[in-house]
Amino acid sequence: MSASSLPPIAQAFQLAAGFAFTQSVHAFVQLGIPELLKDETRSTDAIAAQCGAHPETLFRFLRLLAQSGVVELDGRQCRLTAAGRFFRKDLPGNITQDLELMTYEPWQEAWNNLLYSLRTGEAAFHHAMGEEPWEYFRQHPEYGRPFNEWMTALSQMNAQALVDNYDFSPATTICDVGGGHGFLLKTLLSHYPQARGILFDLPYVVAGADLEGVADRCATVGGDFFENVPRADILILKSILHDWNDEKAVNILRNCAAALEPGGKILAMDMVITDDYNPVGYFYDMHMQVMLGGRERTQEEFSALFARADLVITRFIATGSPQCILEAEKA
């Protein structure tokens, strides 16, 4: 029985018990059950023997997960569903890193303080943890390291989306604003040998840059995009604007507009909220609010945001990934 076909009281109970399902899926991944099952059907006793679990308890556990659509049970025979395959670490596009982050204490504590965000419109993370996320992750590498690994994985996906969907052949200088350790910029420069690059982020972030193979064409610059941005003819803002409320996002865009060479372009990569049902977009919209006071935006909201910085969006380019490329220039 699917969740949508459950009686309303059962649907309501599943919402109330959502925390238990998150922890259950996390344990499911930690035990390595998705990789044990792969595309096969196995008995719950065999699974328990292979992953070192108590057989009867594991059966009851998998029975719970079957109610959320992660596995299917036929008696005591178990197999992954199409949804459950996204928890296989050996398959591309899996969401195990997302899941890992969602179970960490600082993420959980931020969401435990959702009511603070709802009442104030401010980020719950700082209220709960006493630090902004970036500073907290710097001081707590046990959380910062996996977060940076997750961001690198996203950069790999987004770099390919940029290469596949945008022509950088006219570019002379490409600046990746808030570009982390440089994976996206390195990918672009590898494909476009005529271009030079600037990796721009906080000083302690660019100190860990990896620009092997393109270092002779790329400068690293430490700074703060709320103060200024290096000049370039293409400025990239990948997963930057959704971190911030409208006032701060406009501040970033104005600094980017001031740094554009004549005829230059700003390329932002972000989710675009549509009227279609999009649980991922709606979740990240509130997740950005809880973590940073930011938000995901619609096309209309993006257009209004850029206009406040005297910029006009010339194209929204679909990429086949959750993110869209927004091409903008000076109005």
Known catalytic residues? Answer: 242
Q: Which helix (H) or strand (E) holds 287?
A: helix 279-292
Evaluate whether 280 touches 322 at the Cβ level (below 8 Å): yes
Tell me 113's DSSP state.
T
Cβ count within 10 A of residue 151: 17
Distances (CA, A) of 165 to 155, 238, 274, 323, 325: 15, 14, 20, 12, 8
Give the whole-angstrom CA distance, residue 106 versus residue 110. Answer: 6
- What distance in Å separates the CA atoms of residue 111 and residue 290, rounded to the nearest whole number? 6
User: How far is the C-alpha of 186 from the C-alpha of 205, rounded, in Å?
Assistant: 16
Q: What is the β-pairing status of strands 71-74 and 173-177?
A: unpaired
Contact 76, 43 (CB under 8 A): yes
11 CB-near residues (< 8 Å, 6+ apart): 3, 4
* Residues in a beta bridge with 310: none
Separation of CA 205 from chain center = 18
Rounded Cα–Cα distance for residues 186 and 284 (Å): 27
Q: What are the structure tokens assigned to 238, written together? A: 């990948």
| Segment holding 273, helix H or strand E | strand 272-273
Measured distance CA(223)–CA(205) in Å, rounded: 10
